[in-house]
Amino acid sequence: MKKKRTVKYWIGQLHLWLGLASGLVVLIVSITGCLFVFQKEISEALGREKYFITPGKGPILPVSLLLEKAQAALGKEMPVNNIVSYRQTDRSWEFMAYAENDSALTYFGSMPYYRSAFINPYTGAPTGIRDYKYDFFSIVKAIHWSLLLKTSIGQPIVGYSTLIFVLLLITGLVLWWPKKWTKATRDRSFKIKWKASFRRVNYDLHNVPGFYTLFPALILALTGMVFSFRWFMGLVYVAAAGTTTPPPQVVVKSVEAARPTGNPMDLAYAEALRQLPGIVRLGISPAAGKEGTIYVAGYRDGETYYGADVLQFDQYSGKLLHRRNNSEKNPGERLVEMNYDIHVGAIAGLTGKIIAFIVSLICASLPVTGLLVWWNKRNKPKPARQAAPRVVAAVVN
């Protein structure tokens, strides 16, 4: 008589085959995410002379002059399109040049160049060049982002594998949940029996850490899906904002007019400092095209990106054209804006990064231990058959 298959059996089958289908991508994405968490700390520790300077005694040089110095260091063929300045007196400023090639199929072909020049803002002297295109952490990020393929090809693969991973976490919780809560089931569910056989230890390593990291792993996976799918980003926005109305879009343009007394970039930077007291980091994007504006985003700490106030300046006059404060954003905008900082754990500082590192490492282990659980079940040694007792007929003479 065949044993009746329960709902939990079919959930187990779903968990198994989804895990086998997505396991390799989940392993790669988790390992690269784990490696990337402390990229800032490691990069600054290994290249301290590039990122840090001896504080100057006088004022900083004009931004326009620093831009000229950075452009000379990078070369005219790589125009600077992003600047990061710090209010800290011991930090060099970063001048980044980046270009894309949408027709390429791989990460390396998708960007003709991606470099930064680091400049001492007091002297104008370059402190170093960083070639992000071939940088270790950039390659790690590109593997994590799209498996070294162009975004339109690789990111859907990563995104759908992450979606499957979310389903695996949910089905894994169902399979983990004991039928009855007894001391024995609690011990099996919450503790790893290190002195048991390899099969049992591996099974516990799949179940127990998987349960403890369920919630943060879901956060990492769901924030990853925000990057991969615009429809999912829209769902997050609507859920947090409580409305389907998109955030307001204000379009402002530079108007070519008489030249001001002074460099527009310098005027814009000085006004940004006046408008944004207490800001510790400024992201500046020089104007692109004849109608483009100078963007300045003010950040409240040296690492995270959420909560910025954004200013737009006329590229010809340096006049402030528009300001959007963080306080004006609705909850949906704020949550979407926080997504990157949540995903890498930076939103909670060093503690958040440590959690993200540990959780990513455990997520990387789950496809491996899960595969071994399946393999061990398939190759479970069969119990030896007992020989049937021989019946010896007694012959009565």
Strands 320-324 and 281-285: unpaired
How far is residue 303's CA from residue 174's CA, in Å, rounded to a whole number? 38
Nearest-5° Cα angle at 356, 350 to 361: 130
CA atoms within 13 A on the CB side of 81: 13
- Which residue has 């370059």 as its token pair? 126
Q: Which residues pair with 282 in a beta bridge?
A: 85, 298
Q: Is residue 198 part of a domain?
A: no
Q: Is residue 207 part of a domain?
A: no
Q: Is residue 217 part of a domain?
A: yes
Confidence of residue 392 (pLDDT cuts 50, 70, 90): very low
Backbone angles phi and psi of 83, in degrees to 5: -130, 135
Q: Give one word for 124, left, alpha or beta, with left for phi > 0 and alpha for psi -120 to 50.
A: left
- Asked whether 276 and 326 are in contact (CB, 8 A), the reply is no
Specify the DSSP element, H or E, that contains 119: strand 113-119
Q: How many domains does the chain have?
A: 1
Q: Is residue 396 part of a domain?
A: yes
Backbone angles phi and psi of 76, in degrees to 5: -65, -25
Q: How far is CA 386 from the centre of its chain?
A: 58
- Which residue has 């058959």 as its token pair? 385
pLDDT of the residue at 382 = 67
The average pLDDT across 107-116 equals 94
- Asked whether 168 and 210 are in contact (CB, 8 A), the reply is no
pLDDT of the residue at 391 = 45
How is residue 378 written in tokens?
């398939």
pLDDT of the residue at 385 = 61
User: Does the global pTM surpass 0.75?
Assistant: yes
Tell me the per-residue pLDDT of 283-332, one tens digit each, with 9 for 90 and over. Answer: 999 999 999 999 999 999 888 999 999 999 999 999 999 999 999 999 99
- Asked whether 323 and 309 are in contact (CB, 8 A), the reply is yes
| DSSP conformational letter for 106 | B
Q: Is residue 258 part of a domain?
A: no
Angstrom CA distances, 262 to 21, 63, 285, 350, stand at 61, 12, 19, 42
Residue type (1 letter), 391: V
Q: How far is CA 341 from the centre of its chain?
A: 8
% of residues, the chain, pLDDT over 90: 84
Q: Is residue 293 part of a domain?
A: no
Q: Is residue 100 part of a domain?
A: yes
pLDDT of the residue at 102 = 87
How far is residue 73's CA from residue 62's CA, in Å, rounded to a whole number? 17
How is residue 73 written in tokens?
């260091």
pLDDT of the residue at 321 = 96
Tell me: pLDDT of 387 over 60.
Answer: no
For residues 389 and 274, the model is more confident at 274
Q: Is residue 297 part of a domain?
A: no
pLDDT of the residue at 395 = 42
How far is residue 154's CA from residue 150's CA, in Å, rounded to a whole number? 6
Tell me the per-residue pLDDT of 136-181, one tens digit each, with 9 for 90 and over. Answer: 999 999 999 999 999 999 999 999 999 999 999 999 999 999 988 9
Q: Which residues contact 112 (CB under 8 A, 6 or more apart)?
A: 99, 100, 101
Tell me: pLDDT of 24 over 60.
Answer: yes
| Summary mean pLDDT of the chain | 92
Q: Find the domain containing 241 and state its range.
A: 11-177+213-247+329-397
Pure H helices in the chain: 7-36, 39-46, 48-51, 63-74, 136-146, 151-176, 183-190, 198-212, 214-228, 230-241, 264-275, 331-343, 349-378
Candidates 155, 150, 173; CA nearest to 224 is 155
Tell me: pLDDT of 384 over 90.
Answer: no
